[in-house]
Structure 1
């Protein structure tokens, strides 16, 4: 049994709200006139407080029935338009709901759009927007941020080449040191790029924190022992081609041998959706990881974040939106992001 309370100016509006929310099988358990809380309530008209309930199983059945009716109505209207305009089926342009158009324009994937169409009855009411918004929030989950779980908490950053892992690590380290007053060390395994080692050493010198180059994965154990009194050890890795099995096997071996506290897959939002989907699919060998997105300022396609979260089933964490260290990184805000998606 699902029970909810509704506040409305009159009973007619309350009935409309209940029917839209709980369906035609809902029953009224109680109703009474009440005043709004606070001082303003004394000077305003009383409102109706209505308690309604519905059997959830009956509600599910009703939803699927209504969805089937909506689809049937659409097909009938489609056929009527074909007859009226003498249009061939293959020439008929499918008219999408405005909300679907908005989120499609925002870059939301066809997989998610089909999920919406199959599970939500779209109409012109605000409840449609709320239901889609709730679905988006369920896909995104809560941000999975760096937490100090033990000393030292080791955090490994992996991902393709050119996504900005080293700069992102510098931003995180700066915030951890300057704002959270944590004791941080930096390790880099990116010995393939000549500039990478010098870059991370430079950041370490500016922040006054130790940096160490790892030439062989076996050196990680010694490094973690050396920094056993530190709060956090951030580990940079070389960019990996997700199509190269040998390079991915190196990460697999690393995770099997060493106990790494947390793993973040770093992805650039300028990457094509199909490639992002393929990348997260190739990294499925990592059981527990979170997503970190970069270069948000370099793209107008904002749908990439939810698409990757849906394809991977993983949580987002941080988003970078520029090159400035430490300013251009923020904790991902699911609510704000969903508002942008629905705004189109």
Structure 2
């Protein structure tokens, strides 16, 4: 069987081509429409393709002219479509023209690139750089915004922690009767440094600040300043424990420091006061002199010119009794020729308001160092810090019981600071 395909403008024309080529007995096996393809399809028409077949043994009528199948098809096509060849030639020519035009455009573009001025290139580069820079700035702005937001959140969290820490420390200090003014002053001095980040940082800073504010303690000097005996006077209101404090210090000076000392007492107003001090002196084997008048000072002191220390117990004076305070001042003037130190004895159990009045009156009499007694009878010792900051007087000793000579020692600012902050055991608690 012989199978061939034929194309024409219409189905009828394609079948006619097949019949003329294969004969009238040719069988049409398939017909399909072929759409033009390629760049110039708009200039071509749709074709119809016919697939036809004929038996090989069947005689095919031939035309008198001997032609090839292609020539025959060409002739038939020319007869049926005399304009088709012309259209193909026109399309080919148009294609050549378009190709030439495209080539010309490419050459012109290339030449334009070569002729482009450096300034133009620079401007283009600058524009590109500006665009990239703008994009980077936008990205950086976004990052900065995110960073700022994160920083604000972190700062808010830190501020909340810091404020809570401040509240806790302020509550602890004022709960131990540190005045609000001094408590706030201490906390502000710590927080304003900018180095406080946690509660531990703040506690550590406040602890160190309290120690600094308590200052250097000044106990009884262990060496004499000159050949004369060192005279130490103990003053203070009634009931604070002056006599017991003298007994404790006398014991330490004799037993621990091996010092030679005598005791003078002017506390003749209180019943059994003289007997009490004589009892302590007898145990320690030290002399005691009772003074009733100021003039007796000049008579007694020469007896003990070779002694290391002379401890003087004065009568308790109410800060509300001006006459008694004047008597004390006059009595103390009798020791003006000698090397003296004055210790103001105060009870840690006294209210801050009363302590301020007491101290203000005794300040007018003499410069003093401070001794606080009865620390075993109170849990709040903030008044020690308050009075220190009010007066600037040096701290010296603390006492916390009736045992002689054990329940007294040189004040330790670290212990006071810890107790004020609620950490550690205080004096008199078996530390």
| TM-score over 0.5 for the pair | yes
Which among 175, 181, 186 is matched to residue 116 of structure 1? 186
Q: What are structure 1's unaligned runs of at least 5 residues?
A: 1-68, 79-93
1:127 counterpart residue number: 201
Is 146-155 or 222-231 further displaced after alignment? 146-155
The answer to whether residue 385 in structure 2 is matched with residue 306 in structure 1 is: yes
The answer to whether residue 397 in structure 2 is matched with residue 323 in structure 1 is: no
Cα distance, 1:257 vs. partner?
Answer: 3.9
For residues 246-325 of structure 1, the aligned pairs below 5 Å read 246-259=323-336, 261-325=340-404
The answer to whether residue 225 in structure 2 is matched with residue 149 in structure 1 is: yes
Distance 1:257 1:227 in 2: 16
1:338 counterpart residue number: 417
Cα distance, 1:123 vs. partner?
Answer: 5.3
Is 132-141 or 195-204 further displaced after alignment? 132-141
SS in 1 for 2:363: coil
Cα distance, 1:255 vs. partner?
Answer: 3.4
Distance 2:407 2:373 in 1: 10
For residues 152-301 of structure 1, the aligned pairs below 5 Å read 152-259=229-336, 261-301=340-380
Alignment check: 8 A CA contact 1:204 1:210 kept: yes
TM-score for both structures, normalised by structure 2? 0.56
Task: Tell me the matched-pair count.
Answer: 256
Structure having the higher helix fraction is: 2
SS in 2 for 1:120: helix
Cα distance, 1:166 vs. partner?
Answer: 0.4
Distance 1:109 1:99 in 2: 13
Q: 1:272-301 deviations in whole A, cap 9, x for unaligned?
A: 111112111122214421000111111111
Cα distance, 1:268 vs. partner?
Answer: 0.7
Distance 1:300 1:116 in 2: 21
Distance 2:235 2:403 in 1: 21
Cα distance, 1:253 vs. partner?
Answer: 2.1
State the Cα RMSD in Å: 2.3
Distance 1:119 1:152 in 2: 44
Distance 1:99 1:123 in 2: 14
Distance 1:188 1:316 in 2: 24
Distance 1:263 1:193 in 2: 21
Alignment check: 8 A CA contact 1:280 1:311 kept: no
Runs of 4+ in 1 over 4 A off after TM superposition: none
Q: What are structure 2's unaligned runs of at least 5 residues?
A: 1-154, 424-431
SS in 2 for 1:317: strand
Distance 2:334 2:285 in 1: 30
Structure number, greater radius of gyration: 2
Is 178-187 or 272-281 further displaced after alignment? 272-281
Change (3 A) 1:137 1:287: farther
Q: Which has the higher contact order (CA 8 A, sep 6+)?
A: 1
Q: 1:170-192 deviations in whole A, cap 9, x for unaligned?
A: 01001111111100100000000
SS in 1 for 2:272: helix
Alignment check: 8 A CA contact 1:157 1:237 kept: yes
TM-score for both structures, normalised by structure 1? 0.69
